[in-house]
Amino acid sequence: NSDNSNLKWLVKELGSDCLTVPDKDGNTAVHLAAERQPVDSLQFIFEQIGVEMFSLKNNRGETPVDVVESDRCRTDQSAKRAWISTQRRLEASRPPAGSSAPTAASAGTKNQLDPSFTDWNFILQDNQKQLIGRGGFSEVYKALTDRNQTVAVKVLPLSGTGQSGKLQKAVEMEKRGVEILKRLSHPNILQFLKCEQKSDGLYIFTELVSGHSLFELMQRQNKPFKESGICSGLNFLHCQPQGAILHRDIKSSNMMLNNEGVIKLIDFGLAKEIVDTCGLSTGVDPKGTPYFMAPELFMGEENLIPYSAKTDVWAFGCTVYELTAMEPPDANVQQFRIGI
């Protein structure tokens, strides 16, 4: 529609993230607008998601800009080309972070961190590294890059813990999560930047999510929390053209609410990729958190655990239950008895 009424309705009902969700061919609402809608539709989308719209790719590797340049563009091709050129020129002239005079383009642009930094330092407070999280063998700190960006760095030692077997598994798990995260770009998924392996440890750099997990917020506020946004991120994972990506540990403590009100899915250490449609069977022991695990994960036959997108959806349902009831399903049952 020339008045963008369909797009406005979608954004109102589902949020701006719906504009980046791909169909079976990998095309998003942005690709379709580039092909069929007037140039005003591209402007409306730009106001919702910023320059991210130019980098979205379908299964053929085409961006919305490629669609505009192709013979599939049915409407306003010349106007769209001129509009894209203008937006790119404005983005190129965007002043650096902290400038008091942002351009019109930067006002509608989501901040994207630059992963090409070559030097960095821990941010200190009272001469101590700022610890912002800890789990298993790893610790997470604040760091400042030579691009003047504040980021999070997860540090995992490579030796010296006295538990070499478990540590090696933890390192392998983190590396697997990195391989998956570095291919993903979605507003509701933690942004991966880079990974460095040094003699003393593995350093994983991501965006710094300033905020709290939904679990922490629920506990601190002592009241239910209304979830929004993770559905889009989870659907994005499950609709990857190369095969569904399973998170395998969906729960409220792995969902962060940042200071801009955006929920981010974090902790991809258990994530796996399905490269066909038969699901994933792996290992002897089920992975995840018992209260959030689907029944079939406790009943794998012949030492095979049947993971699928459905088991992620089950965990998401348990998370919504937890955020509503302020406790997970079967909370009165000890974790080791959940599968009995």
> Is residue 227 located within the same domain as residue 272?
yes
> Is residue 168 located within the same domain as residue 94?
no
> Is residue 139 located within the same domain as residue 163?
yes
CATH number for the domain harbouring residue 61 = 1.25.40.20
What pLDDT does residue 141 have?
A: 92
Let me know if residue 112 belongs to a domain: no
The reply to whether 110 sits in an annotated binding site is no
Let me know if residue 113 belongs to a domain: no
CATH number for the domain harbouring residue 194 = 3.30.200.20
Contact yes or no for 126/146 (Cβ under 8 A): no
> Is residue 258 located within the same domain as residue 309?
yes
Return the active site residues: 249
What pLDDT does residue 222 have?
A: 86
pLDDT digits (tens, 9 = 90+) for 295-340: 777 775 555 667 788 888 999 999 988 888 888 887 776 655 444 4
CATH number for the domain harbouring residue 314 = 1.10.510.10
Strand order in the sheet with 255-258: 211-213, 255-258, 263-265
Tell how strand 128-129 and strand 255-258 pair up: unpaired
10 Å Cβ neighbour count for 266? 20
Q: How far apart are CA 227 and CA 256, in angstroms?
A: 11
> Is residue 97 located within the same domain as residue 149?
no
Alpha-helix residue ranges (DSSP H) falling in the chain: 5-14, 29-36, 39-49, 64-69, 77-92, 104-107, 164-181, 214-221, 230-238, 309-325
Let me know if residue 201 belongs to a domain: yes
Could you list the pLDDT tens digit for every one of the 340 residues in the chain? 455 778 888 787 778 888 888 888 889 999 999 999 888 888 888 888 888 888 899 998 999 999 999 998 988 888 888 888 888 777 766 555 444 433 333 333 445 788 889 999 999 888 899 898 887 778 899 999 998 889 999 998 877 655 667 778 778 878 877 888 887 888 888 888 999 988 888 899 999 988 888 988 888 888 887 766 678 888 888 888 778 888 888 899 889 988 788 889 988 777 766 554 344 444 445 566 788 888 777 775 555 667 788 888 999 999 988 888 888 887 776 655 444 4
Let me know if residue 264 belongs to a domain: yes
Q: How far apart are CA 203 and CA 201, in angstroms?
A: 6
Q: How far apart are CA 338 and CA 340, in angstroms?
A: 6
The boundaries of the domain holding residue 124 are 120-207
CA gyration radius for the chain? 22
Amino acid at 141: Y
Q: How far apart are CA 81 and CA 62, in angstroms?
A: 16
Domain count, the chain: 3
What pLDDT does residue 111 have?
A: 56
